[in-house]
């Protein structure tokens, strides 16, 4: 199963609403996670089972979708949110990651 993220990069301003999509090549129910990675750091879990917010993650992050189409939304982009975001398949081996979406400052 392949995961395709779009866009691969985007430029946005603080306060903007940002949406990242992840499309699976076949249905994966809700078995998808989202991670945030900052340069030189390990990835950090944001969301699992497509829409469940990991403990401690700000509520401006949300996830939705099931089947083949998923979205990660940041409702109001904050300076600390500039990073690369990855989706990951969780119910079929190999546990593929999407190609990533880099969120940059406009």
Give the nearer residue to other proteins in terms of CB position, either 16 or 102: 102
Counting contacts by CB under 8 A, is residue 51 touching other proteins?
no
**By CB under 8 A, is residue 94 in contact with other proteins?**
yes
Is there a contact between 53 and 47 (Cβ–Cβ < 8 Å)?
yes
Between CA 51 and CA 60 the distance in angstroms is 13
Q: Which of residues 25-44 bind other proteins (CB under 8 A)?
A: 30-31, 33, 35, 37, 41-44
Indicate whether 23 belongs to the interface with other proteins (CB under 8 A).
Answer: no
> Does 95 interact with other proteins (rule: CB under 8 A)?
yes
Question: Which residues contact residue 18 at a Cβ distance below 8 angstroms, ignoring those fewer than 6 apart?
Answer: 10, 12, 73, 74, 77, 81, 103
- 22, 24, 48, 72: which one binds other proteins (CB under 8 A): 48
| Partners of 63 in beta bridges | 72
Which token pair is 88?
Answer: 């990951």
Contact positions vs other proteins (CB under 8 A): 30-31, 33, 35, 37, 41-45, 48-49, 54, 84, 86, 88, 90-91, 93-100
């Amino acid at each position: 199963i392949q995961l395709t993220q779009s866009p691969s990069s985007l430029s946005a301003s603080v306060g903007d609403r940002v949406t990242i999509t992840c499309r699976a090549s076949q249905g994966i129910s809700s078995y998808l996670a989202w991670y945030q990675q900052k340069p030189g750091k390990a990835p950090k879990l944001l969301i699992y089972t497509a829409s469940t917010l990991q403990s401690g993650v700000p509520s401006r992050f949300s996830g939705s979708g099931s089947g083949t189409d998923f979205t990660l939304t940041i409702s109001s982009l904050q300076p600390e949110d500039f990073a690369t975001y990855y989706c990951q398949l969780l119910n079929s081996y190999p546990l593929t990651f999407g190609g990533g979406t880099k969120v940059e400052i406009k």
